[in-house]
Amino acid sequence: MRFHTAIGVVMVTSLALPAAPATAQTSPLEQMEVPFHVDSGLVVNSTANRVAAYSTVVRVPDATWLRLQFDQVVLGESPGEPTVLRLTARADGAVQHHTTVTLGQWGNTSAYFNGDAVELEIIADPQAEPSLVLMSHVLAGPPGAGGNDGGIASICGPTDDRMPSSDPRACRAAPVGCTAWMISDFSNCFISAGHCAGGLSVMQFNVPLSNSNGSWNLPGPEDQYAVDATSLQAVNGGIGNDWAYFGCFPNTETGLTAFEAQGMAFDLAASPPPVGGQTIRITGYGTDSSPNEWNQIQQTHTGPYVTFSGTQLQYAVDTTGGNSGSPVINDDTGEAIGVHTHAGCGQGGGANNGTGSNNSGLQSALANPEGVCLPAPGLGFDFPDGIPMLLDPDGDSIRVEVSGINGGDAESGTGMLHYSTGGAFIEIPMQVVSPNVYDAVFPAIDCGTLVAFYFSAETTDAEVITNPLLAPDQTYNAVAAASQTVVFADDFETQQGWGSVGINGLTDGRWERGTPIANSICDRGNPGADADGSGQCYLTDNDSTSCNSDVDDGATILTSPTLDATLGTPLISYWRWFHNSFADNPYQDTMVVEVSDDFGVNWVELETVGPTGPQADGGWYHKSFRIEDFVSLTDGFRVRFIVEDADPGSVVEAAVDGVQLLALGCQTNPPGDVDGDGIVGILDFLAVLGNWGPCPEPCPPSCAADLDDDCQVGIFEFLLVLGNWD
């Protein structure tokens, strides 16, 4: 019998983390791989009706559950209804239907079925092409397997006070034995713990009571959802840096997403609030044996909010193994403020532990979704003349065409241009050319100014869609300039005079030029490819043997050759990569970029990357800076990149690619300006007279005085110069 005790709310502003190592709280599903041979051969439906072209029963005597894994499935093309693989549990009649598409989404596996037998059928039309199914083994629940208090019980008091609950937003993660929950982002994707990421395969909602011995009962396939592995982003970095963000495919039986079926999702706070007497709720699928039927079903409990420090949360709320990944809910507001990850109560401390929603890696993942978490916009944006890299300083425009996609319809007249020259974004209605065709008109902008911009329009349902989709976190970028000349460009395919040194006791990770190691071989935060596609870049070590390619015990400096920054309005641009979010002392180191105008004697900071923020989580970022905003314009310009592994040591990876020094032309030449000095006068008149007549081949652009590109200099040029004489 379970006893319940009231726990009063207490206010604690700080508390040391447990003295003993906190333990992650998973409780994996017990399973065994059993050989089972199925070979249907090529089969067709030879009757006049839609029937089973093949049928067999997969049975593992006394198994508590089955999950089929197929070596190969071919479902023949059909002119009528598609051929499907139908799976039916003999124990409770639960059914799953697989098409070629859903088999791919499920990785050639089935849902989890209760009992020890599943009927397998190929359902086909008479005209369907041949089908085939091959299987060599099946996953099964061991006979007699039961539940236990598995993993770590972390009860924050004398009794376990959790009670069964039915929050439609939370689910059981199989087979890892964790908890996950939906959030109200673009695509209503899921959050769980990073240490659960390796076993996030199937999300199970509406979980029934367990059996009398504690073994799992499975919901029907209509409540099971396959995880999209391409959507998964996760970090298993210990307390305060342990999170997973991912999505699931629509259900095979209902065609609905989990959110469409469940109808609710958690609002995720941008940051946990300061500790101030709030009540915290943890809802999840922890182990239990009192009674056994409550083992790893959904249960909930509340308790006091204890600590919020950095990205670490603590709370005195009961949890057990299987609760890893549960939402940390501010019960006063209903918002999720983090993810529960580690035991603490009974582990040398008085509170359990989680990762705050303010974790920069998690926030970066939310801002940069992948796979099915990428939203499907209702509007498409096309740019028939392209997106320019230069904007005329006197004003410019971009043609934008908006159309409905993915079931959306465009509301005419709602197009907006959003641009920033370094401050807040300014919104300007785009000029309507025709229904849903616009000109985005930029005002005059000082030459050399970096401009970030994006576009938006509304659907007929008043939904605002941006392009790029994740704007303003992602934008288009251009420079206000009349012209651009490349003074220096280095894609690092050859050595152009860069220098690399180690300082402050560096033992490993010095800058070197090379081809990045693929992430399938080494993935410790290192780039898996260069940024500009040439093949090589500069990076901190590149050791494919040990994959120990990061900076250790000091700093490494990469310094450019001396460059001439006296031409036009000079701009320095480059691609950079920085990663410092792995488990060992994450988010404490930086990458510093500096510039010099005196050949490298003195240096001025251009930017610092890290120690926190999404750009400390890896990824190539393209950056540009107007040099005169930082140093004088001289022929002694240099740029350098400094990466350091400060004490205590952490995993620090960095890379640089595609460095360019650009000279921006800020003079828009008036008509008739042959020599490009911005003035129409005697020199232009003499150039026209001196080049009078046909231009030499090839034409154009054989003679600058040919102002109308007709391959001759004559009366048109003469009149143009006279008409614009300054």
pTM of the model: 0.61
**Looking at the predicted structure, is the pLDDT value of residue 146 above 60?**
yes
Q: Exposed, middle or buried, 26 (CB in 10 Å: 0-12/13-18/19+)?
A: buried
pLDDT in tens, 11-37: 222 333 333 456 777 788 889 999 999
Tokens read off for 702? 């054989």
Confidence of residue 674 (pLDDT cuts 50, 70, 90): confident
CA 458 to chain centre: 25
From CA 116, how far away is CA 67, in angstroms rounded? Answer: 10
Confidence of residue 517 (pLDDT cuts 50, 70, 90): confident
Arithmetic mean of pLDDT over the chain: 88
Q: What is the pLDDT of residue 327?
A: 98
In the block, tokens 């420090």 appear at 309
CA 7 to chain centre: 40
From CA 347, how far away is CA 18, in angstroms rounded? Answer: 7
From CA 319, how far away is CA 704, in angstroms rounded? Answer: 79
List the alpha helices (DSSP H) in 232-332.
258-262
Work out the percent of the chain whose per-residue pLDDT is above 90: 63
Q: Exposed, middle or buried, 497 (CB in 10 Å: 0-12/13-18/19+)?
A: exposed
**Looking at the predicted structure, is the pLDDT value of residue 369 above 80?**
yes
Q: What is the pLDDT of residue 117?
A: 97
Tokens read off for 274? 């300061």
- Lowest mean pLDDT, pick from 3-7, 158-162, 715-719: 3-7
Q: What is the pLDDT of residue 667?
A: 63
pLDDT in tens, 425-475: 999 999 999 999 999 999 999 888 889 999 999 999 998 999 988 788 778
Q: What is the pLDDT of residue 282?
A: 97
Q: Exposed, middle or buried, 666 (CB in 10 Å: 0-12/13-18/19+)?
A: middle
Q: What is the pLDDT of residue 3?
A: 33
Q: Which helix (H) or strand (E) holds 102?
A: helix 100-105
Q: What is the pLDDT of residue 332?
A: 94
Work out the percent of the chain whose per-residue pLDDT is above 70: 92
Mean pLDDT for 562-569 is: 91
Q: What is the pLDDT of residue 621?
A: 87
Cis peptide before 527 (omega within 30 of 0): no
